[in-house]
Structure formats: C-alpha cells, structure tokens
Structure 1
Amino acid sequence: MSCEHATAAGGQTAPQEFEENNLSEVKRVVAVLSGKGGVGKSLVTGTLAVELARAGHKVGILDADITGPSIPKMFGMSGRHAMGLGNLLLPEISDHGVKVMSSNLLLKNETDPVLWRGPVIAGAIRQFWSETSWGPLDYLLVDMPPGTADVALTVFQSLPVDGIVIVTSPQDLVSMIVAKAVNMAEKMNIPVLGIVENMAYVECPDCGKKIEIFGPSKLDAVAEQYNLPILGRMPIKPELAAACDDGAIEAELPGGLLPEALASVEALPEHEAPEPDAGA
C-alpha cells in the first residue's frame, strides 16, 4: 500500500527543486539535522558559521526552524527586520558578515508565535531560498527544525543540499536519534558528513577534568554502527550559552571547538555551474 507521503519519502516523484534567483550564487549547502529537539542544532549551526567566517569564507544561514527560530538572537539581530529589494528579500548581516534569513526577521515582534500550517511553512522555505538575495556565498548552512517531518522533506527535496551534519547528545536515545536522521538522509540520497555530539561533558574549572554528566558517551559505538565520522564533541559551557543569549556568539565563541566538522564542510566541492541554455 502506498500514499503520496510514502512516495515523497521514497524520493520517486520528488518535487522540482526551488530555483535560485539571479542575485544569489550559493556554492555549497549544508543542513544541520537531528532526529529530535533540544540537542543544540542551532548552536552547532552557529558555531560552524562563525568558524567558516573566521576562515575567510562567505557564509549564510537559512533558518528553517520556522516555528522555533533562535539564530537571529544568537547573532545579535533581535529587533531587526529583513528588508526588500524589488521582489526579493535581503538577509540581515551580522557584525562579522554572516547573512541570516529567518522567520523572526519577518515578524513584528520576535516573541510572536508562528501559527502556520505545513504548506505555509514550505512556502517560507521556498521564499528563503528562491526569493532571497543571498549574493555570493561559499556556504549556506540550513538550521533544520527538530525531527524528520514536512520541513525536512521540503528542504531535502527542493534545495541542492550537499551534505548533512547530524547533531546528537550523550543520552540513551542517541542511537534512535541518529538512526532517524541517517535513514532520512539515505532516502533523500544526501551524504551524511558525520556526527557532532553536543553537551558531551563539563570541564572542571579547577583541574580541567572532563566530567560526563549524562554518563559515558555512546557516540563511538553509534558512529561505528552507521559507519559515520565523529566530527566533534562540544562541552557544556555556561559562558557559551550566555554569549548566545546576549547575541555575541561571533565575538565570544572560543576557537577550535569543531575542527573536524569545519574540515569536513570545507572539503565539499562547489556546485557545478549550470550549462548555458542552448537556445539562448
């Protein structure tokens, strides 16, 4: 027995990709995904964006977590609003040059709830890609919503995603979380670059010992089970949480948090330029 949702999940009749407008030139698209919420996808997305920008790359973030956006606040954009250029939106630009498009930048107040149904949310993703003037970007990071439902399908079927970074935490559900994300990536035929474990440990301020407050990590076993690289383990750092809350992640993020993830993203090849229209 089949249905339109099963067909879409199988990728057999995937919808046409959203077109890129002529004021955007995005070379690589990377989605940051988890099988559940609360594991720190936005923190990992923000960290990767800052590290890529520090390495000299032009970086943008498409905040696909439409109903729970946190990227604008993290990058000091609270109270700011996206402007328009003709029929296109202009992303907001952080103090250090990271471009951001998010539903919070379209609301009158950032605390207003986003009471949109699935088709409207899918339309917002299309608007953030096709109707936003991104300009030249080396990397566009897509901060995904929790889980593997409608928005994830829309992103993976309609945007030219080059790779996925899976984010998890050191708890008993880690295997199920990774399995959901890996299975979806396989159905969408998109490579998984690897796994980042967030909240991996706390570092003692006196002796520097790493304390695994959620118990021993299961990441090594899970990474081996799915044959995936480990792209890093991020600690719990109160000062990092405070920097995100204060909109100061760019200024206060410690260097070298995710070197393996950074290297994996930087190794992605650029999109091939479209062939000229033979009839032109």
Structure 2
Amino acid sequence: MQTTGPEKLPGIRHIIAVGSGKGGVGKSTVSVNLAFALQRMGYRIGLLDADVLGPSIPGMLGLTTDQPPGFDAGEMITPAERYGLKTISMGMLSGDDKPAILRGPMVSKFLKMFVGSVHWGQLDYLILDLPPGTGDTQLTLAQSVPLSGAIIVTTPQDVSLKIARRGLRMFQTVHTPILGIVENMSTFTCPHCGKGTDIFHGGGGERMSRELGIPFLGTIPLDPDIVTCGDQGQPLVLEKPNSFAAQVYGAIAAELDGRLQAQSTSALKQFTWTWETNAGAPAWAESAGRPSGSQTTAIGFRQRDARTLSVLWEDGQRQDFDVRDLRLNCRCALCRDEMSGLPLLDPKSVRADITPRTIVSVGNYAISIAWNDGHSTGIDTFKHLRALGASRAAGVAEDV
C-alpha cells in the first residue's frame, strides 16, 4: 500500500509531528501506538524520538539503551528496528540514567542528524514525537524538515487545553498544516461495574477543535492497559489489537491517512536556488492558484529578470519584488532592533547592484537569502513577503 504525492525527503512520503505545548499529555504513547496503527494498515513506518532531553520511546518499545546504533557503508546511522518499526532516539546514545545536558544549538544539531543522517530507507510515514513547549526543537524541525502536518495531543482539562492551543498556534505560525486534535486520557470505564468516569472532564479536545475550526481525530480512553503495555515495551495496538483503545487508534490512523491523501499537492518542495545560474529553481504552478487559497502560502518562485523576484501565492495572486528592496527590508537582528522594530540598516550601505547568491526554502513558511554582500542571517516569512508586496503596491497606487 502506497501513499500518494511527492516525497517530503528522499524515500519518505509523509513526516508527521505529534506535539502539544504541555508535557504529560501522552504524546509519546500516542506516537508509538499511532505508528503501529498505520503499520497495520500496510504502511512502512519510522519513529523519531525528537525529545532529545527526555527520551521515552526506547522504553515503550523495549529497546536496549546500552548499545549505540551502528553505521552503514555510507556512514549513515542505522536505526534500531522493533516489531518492524524503524526508530532513532537520544536514549540509544545516552543510556537510561545518563542525562543529555545540552544547550539549544546542540539539541538542534542532534535533531538534524536524526532526520538527515539516519538510513531510513523507504518510508510512507515518519512520525516525530516532540517534547513539550514551543522552543528550539519545534522551531528547528519547522525550519529544516518539510512537515506534512502536525497532530496536537491534549487531555480534556482546561489547563491542558489552554497550553495545547499555544502549541497549535505555533505550528500555524510556521505554516505547518494542523491535521487534527487528539483528546487523550478521556473517559475511564471501571472494569468491575462498567461505569464511565471523566476523571479529567470530557469533550475538551472536541470543543477546542470546533472553536478553532481544526479537525478532531478522536478520543482515546483512560485505559490502564495502555500504560501497562507501554511500560512492558509491548505497545497496546500490537499486544491487544482487539481492545477498544486499539480500535480507537486504528480509527485515528485511518482518519489521518485519509486527510493526507486529500491534502493539496500545490505545496512547494524544498529548494536551494542559485540566483545567477537559476540552478535549482523552484516550481511555478500558476494553474494551481485558486481564489479560496491562502494569501500567505507560496506555491511558486521565479526570476522575472536579474533584479526581480516573483512570488506566486495559493490564492492565485502574483507579487514582484525588487531584490534590493528585499535586502533593505531584512528583519534579522543585525538589520532591525528586535525590541522596538526600528531599522538598524543604513540604506546607503546597501550597494545598488545587490543581488541574491542563493535562495533557500525554510520549512513551509519562509525563505532565506544569502546576498552577494555577504549578508545571510535573515529569514523572510511568507507573511512578511505578502505584507511587503501589498504595501509596495499601495504606495505605487498612491503615487499614481
């Protein structure tokens, strides 16, 4: 069974982030069981434990942590394999008791290594189990990995829902599609009397999905067997496939797969574009534009001439940018004060013949330009580009 659409990375069709702004909501448990539910549908699955500082995937899969992964002939890391699932985790490198004491840049380095330096082979889905929060890990993945989308996990109580909203908004900010919300640890059914109890309240995840207009993927019960199976390294979906909870995971996997099959294929592939030679130029699919599309999702870039960058938006609009104007409007910390927003860059210091050397896609939401004056620290988000183009067009109209 094969998924449709282009590969996100060589050999990988879909990359799914499982996240939440809050810890303790069961992201790892959802990631593991969702991975095996998709596997039971006939797909080839990989699981990346992106919680570098607090890895829990090895324990849930029953993997030993005292044997670091090996390398293949091409010096790529060989992922561990358990029940047919390919896995990589910091827990395999650090052991059970040794903490990973790392600053942000090193966390980002390990994440990029786990994605790009692991011999994943052919996968239909690579599931990323994220740590809590909206910090370095989430931003690194959003900028360096072409995510197909994110799943937000929450528990029903208000405190979890409020923080999960922040995690959801973070993904929306970096143009990662929200594939749906999962409510975990919902109703507990007493095995003796059969009475259901909403220990953490109930229906909060579904209510949030309605309020935000986000798909609701399903409600996972508070089932002791989920915990027991995870602690024993034998995930519930494999150990008790006929249980109610396992069937819920199966339904969530089917819903997720259906949404991805129907997902728009107009999104750009990742690119590194050399401006002078036009090598590596991204796609330009003018026919794919539609009035109902997003105003801040770029579906095409091209060089109209040596000094003009054209951007095609999903709503069918096209904007042209003078490249020197883009350089003057750089929003990095060297060119604009981060607190006040006031410009630091002196326009007189930017040469008249400034041009890009390379333009590189940044996740699903921005581009980064390396200029021929040596400047390369700026990131132009699609939202910023659209607003800049609109302000320039308004200025022209006023002049006329």
- Scaled by the length of structure 2, the TM-score of the pair is 0.60
Decide which of 65, 68, 75 is 1:87's aligned counterpart.
75
Q: Which amino acid aligns with 2:34?
A: L
Report what 1:101 is aligned to: 88
Q: Structure 1 residues 251, 175: CA separation in 2 closer, same or farther (over 3 Å shift)?
A: closer
Separation (CA, whole Å) in 1 of partners of 2:183 and 2:193: 23
- Scaled by the length of structure 1, the TM-score of the pair is 0.84
Cα deviation, residue 208, structure 1 = 2.8
Report what 2:211 is aligned to: 225
Separation (CA, whole Å) in 2 of partners of 1:64 and 1:142: 6
Cα deviation, residue 236, structure 1 = 1.7
Decide which of 16, 24, 31 is 1:30's aligned counterpart.
16
Alignment of 1:29-48 (within 5 A): 29-48=15-34
Contact 1:81 1:92 in 2 (8 A): no
Separation (CA, whole Å) in 2 of partners of 1:43 and 1:175: 18
Cα deviation, residue 174, structure 1 = 3.4
Q: How many residues align?
A: 256
Deviation per CA, 1:178-221: give whole Å up to 9, x if none. 32022111111111111111111211113433210123432232
Decide which of 144, 156, 171 is 2:157's aligned counterpart.
171
Deviation per CA, 1:62-101: give whole Å up to 9, x if none. 110001111111111133431111321011000x210001
Consecutive unaligned residues of structure 1, counting only runs of 5 or more, are 1-18
Separation (CA, whole Å) in 2 of partners of 1:106 and 1:210: 42
Decide which of 140, 147, 150 is 1:154's aligned counterpart.
140
| 1:231 partner SS | strand
Report what 2:397 is aligned to: none
Cα deviation, residue 240, structure 1 = 1.7
Q: Which amino acid aligns with 1:104?
A: G
Q: Which moved more, 1:243-252 or 1:190-199?
A: 243-252
Would you say 1:266 and 2:272 are equivalent positions? no
The higher relative CO (CA closer than 8 Å, separation ≥ 6) is in 1
Contact 2:36 2:238 in 1 (8 A): no
Q: Which amino acid aligns with 2:238?
A: A
- RMSD in angstroms over aligned alpha carbons? 2.4
Cα deviation, residue 262, structure 1 = 0.8
Q: Which moved more, 1:193-202 or 1:176-185?
A: 176-185
Cα deviation, residue 223, structure 1 = 1.4
Separation (CA, whole Å) in 1 of partners of 2:192 and 2:54: 36
Deviation per CA, 1:27-61: give whole Å up to 9, x if none. 10000010110000001101110101111110001
Decide which of 52, 61, 70 is 1:66's aligned counterpart.
52
Contact 2:182 2:217 in 1 (8 A): yes
Would you say 1:180 and 2:180 are equivalent positions? no
Separation (CA, whole Å) in 1 of partners of 2:270 and 2:17: 22
Cα deviation, residue 258, structure 1 = 2.3
Q: Which amino acid aligns with 2:129?
A: D
Separation (CA, whole Å) in 1 of partners of 2:201 and 2:78: 45
| 2:167 partner SS | helix
Decide which of 194, 209, 212 is 2:195's aligned counterpart.
209
Report what 1:126 is aligned to: 112
Separation (CA, whole Å) in 2 of partners of 1:72 and 1:117: 23
Decide which of 248, 252, 261 is 2:239's aligned counterpart.
252
Q: Which amino acid aligns with 1:60?
A: G
Contact 1:78 1:110 in 2 (8 A): no
Separation (CA, whole Å) in 2 of partners of 1:253 and 1:125: 32
Report what 1:6 is aligned to: none
Deviation per CA, 1:112-168: give whole Å up to 9, x if none. 101011000100011001111000000000000101111000011110100111000
Cα deviation, residue 273, structure 1 = 8.3
Report what 1:112 is aligned to: 98
Consecutive unaligned residues of structure 2, counting only runs of 5 or more, are 1-7, 281-400
Deviation per CA, 1:207-251: give whole Å up to 9, x if none. 433210123432232111111122111112222211111111163
Separation (CA, whole Å) in 1 of partners of 2:250 and 2:78: 31
Decide which of 168, 179, 197 is 1:193's aligned counterpart.
179
Would you say 1:50 and 2:50 are equivalent positions? no
Separation (CA, whole Å) in 2 of partners of 1:221 and 1:251: 30
* Structure with larger Rg: 2
Report what 1:14 is aligned to: none
Contact 2:155 2:161 in 1 (8 A): no
| 2:43 partner SS | coil
| 2:248 partner SS | coil
Report what 1:7 is aligned to: none
Report what 1:16 is aligned to: none
Q: Which amino acid aligns with 2:167?
A: A
